[in-house]
Structure 1
Amino acid sequence: MHKSITSLLTPAPRLSSTTQKRPSPLRVLLVAWLLFGCIGSLWTFASPLMSIPDEPAHAIKAAAVARGQFSGNTTGKQGEQLTVSVPGYIADLHDYKCFAHKSDVTPACAQPIDATDRGWRAATTSAGNYNPVYYGIVGLGSRGLSGEAAIYAMRLISTWLVAFFLAAIFCAASSLRRFHRPVIAASVALTPAVFFLTGSINPSALEIASTAALFMTLCAILEQSAGKVPISRLLLVTLTLSGALLAHTRPLSLLWLAIAALSAVICFRLNTFLQTLKIRGFQLALAGIALSSLFALWWVSSAKSFESLLTGAPIPSDVAAVAMLDKTVFFMVEYVGVLGWIDTLPPPAALYTWVLGFGAMLILAYTARPVRGRWAMALLTLTVIIVPLALQAATSEQLGWIWQGRYTLAMVVTLILAAGVATRFRQYRVTPWTKSLVRWGLVLGILAHTYVFLEGLRRYTIGIQAHVNWTEMFEPLWQPPGGWQLLTLAYIAVLAAGGVCVYRLLAIKPAPRAETSPSTDALS
Structure 2
Amino acid sequence: MSTLIPAPSQSRARSGAAAFLRRSLGVFPIVAALSMLWVFASPLMSVPDEPAHTIKAVSVAHGQLNGVSGGQQSDLTIVRVPGYIANLGGQACMAWRATVTADCAPPIQASAQELVDAGTSAGNYNPMYYAVVGLPSQFLSGAKALYAMRGVSALICAVFLSFAIGAAASLRRPFWPKSVTLVAVTPMVLYLSGSINPNALEIVTTAALFMSACLVFENYRNLANVRLAMVVVGVSGAVLANTRAMSLLWLACAVGAAVLLYGWKPLLAVFKNRLGLAMMALIVLGCALSLAWLVMANSFQSLLGTPTDIPPAQAFARMLDETFKYSAGYVGVMGWLDTPLPGAIMAFWNFAFAAVILGGLSVRRLRSRITVWAGLAAVLLVPAVVQAQAVQEIGYIWQGRYLLALFVLFLLACGVALRTAPAPQGARAKAVARWLIAGAVGVHIYAFLYVLRRYVVGLQEHTNWTEMFNPLWQPPFSWQGLSLAYLAVLTIAAVVAYKSLFPAGLKHTPKRNSPKEDMLSV
Distance 2:456 2:383 in 1: 35
Displacement of 1:283: 0.9
In the alignment, the residues of structure 1 paired with residue 60 and residue 427 of structure 2 have an alpha-carbon distance, to the nearest angstrom, of 55
Q: Tell me which residue corresponds to 1:113.
A: 108
- The residue that corresponds to 1:263 in the other structure is 257
Shift of 1:143: 1.1
SS of residue matched to 2:134: helix
**Quick check: 1:491 aligned with 2:486?**
yes
Equivalent position to 2:281, from 278, 287, 300: 287
Q: 2:202: which partner in 1?
A: 207
Matched, 1:405 2:404: no
Amino acid at match of 1:289: I
Query: Residue 220 of structure 2 corresponds to which residue in structure 1?
Result: 225
Q: Distance in 2 between matches of 1:255 and 1:11?
A: 33
Q: Map of 1:55-454 to 2, 5 A cutoff?
A: 55-226=50-221, 228=222, 230-314=224-308, 315-454=310-449
Deviates more, 1:175-184 or 1:316-325: 316-325
Q: Deviations over 1:33-83 (max 9, x none)?
A: 111111011000000000000000000000000011000011211110100
Q: Which moved more, 1:472-481 or 1:372-381?
A: 372-381
Q: Secondary structure at the match of 2:458?
A: coil
Q: Distance in 2 between matches of 1:152 and 1:458?
A: 20
Residue deviations 1:8-37, cap 9 Å, x none? Answer: x99799789xx9999932222112211111
* Change beyond 3 A, Cα 1:294–1:471: same
Q: Residues 517 and 295 from structure 1, CA distance in 2 versus in 1: closer, same or farther, beyond 3 angstroms?
A: farther
- Find the aligned partners of 1:320 and 1:475 in 2 and give their Cα distance: 46
Structure 2, unaligned stretches of length 5 or more? none
Conservation of the 8 A alpha-carbon contact between 2:5 and 2:23? no
Letter in 1 for 2:121: S
Q: Which amino acid aligns with 1:254?
A: L
One-letter amino acid of the counterpart of residue 357, structure 2: L
- Distance in 2 separating the partners of 1:452 and 1:216: 27
Between 161-170 and 505-514, the greater mean CA deviation after superposition: 505-514
1:517–1:69 distance in 2 versus 1, CA, 3 Å: farther
Q: Tell me how far 1:369 sits from its aligned partner.
A: 1.8
Q: Match of 1:481? A: 476
1:496-507 maps to which residues of 2 (within 5 A)?
496-507=491-502
Equivalent-residue separation in structure 1 for 2:507 and 2:252 (angstroms): 32
Out of 44, 51, 58, the residue aligned to residue 49 of structure 1 is 44
Q: Distance in 1 between matches of 2:8 and 2:481?
A: 41
State the Cα deviation string for residues 310-339 of structure 1 (Å, max 9, x = none): 122413322221221111111221110011
Q: TM-score, normalised by structure 2?
A: 0.94
When structure 1 is superposed on structure 2, of 434-443 and 213-222 the one drifting more is 434-443
- Whether the 8 Å CA contact 2:5–2:166 is kept in 1: the answer is no
Q: 1:420 to 1:15 in 2, by over 3 A?
A: closer
Q: What count of residue pairs does the alignment treat as equivalent?
A: 513
Matched, 1:521 2:518: yes
Q: Deviations over 1:269-320 (max 9, x none)?
A: 1223223322222111111111111101110111100000012241332222
Q: 1: distance between equivalents of 2:46 and 2:319? A: 26
Q: What is the rounded CA distance, in whole Å, between the counterparts of 1:66 and 1:511 in structure 2?
A: 53
Q: In the alignment, what sits opposite 1:3?
A: none
The secondary structure found in structure 2 opposite 1:86 is strand
CA drift of 1:230 comes to: 2.9
Cα pair 1:272 1:523 within 8 Å, conserved: no
**2:33 maps to what in 1?**
38
* Paired AA for residue 282 in structure 1: G
Equivalent residue letter for 1:422: A
3-state SS of the aligned residue for 2:420? coil
Structure 1 gap ranges (5+): 1-8
AA aligned opposite 1:374: R
With over 3 angstroms needed to count, the CA separation of the structure-2 counterparts of 1:367 and 1:517, relative to structure 1, is closer
- Between the aligned partners of 1:311 and 1:359, the Cα distance in structure 2 is 33
Partner residue of 1:6? none
Alignment check: 8 A CA contact 1:36 1:163 kept: yes
Amino acid at match of 1:308: S
What is the percentage of aligned positions where both structures have the same residue? 44
Which of 139-148 and 269-278 deviates more? 269-278
The whole-number CA distance in structure 1 between the counterparts of 2:48 and 2:6 is 42
Q: Measure the CA separation in 2 of the matches of 1:505 and 1:20.
A: 15
Q: Is the 8 A contact 1:268 1:523 kept in 2?
A: no
Amino acid at match of 1:217: S
Contact 1:39 1:195 in 2 (8 A): yes
String of CA shifts for 1:320-377, please: whole Å, max 9, x gaps: 2122111111122111001100100111111000011000011111010212111111
Is the contact made by 1:15 and 1:511 (CA closer than 8 Å) also made in structure 2? no
* RMSD between aligned residues: 2.2
Secondary structure of the 1:24 match is: helix
In 2, Cα distance between the equivalents of 1:514 and 1:391? Answer: 45
Which residue is 1:5 aligned to? none
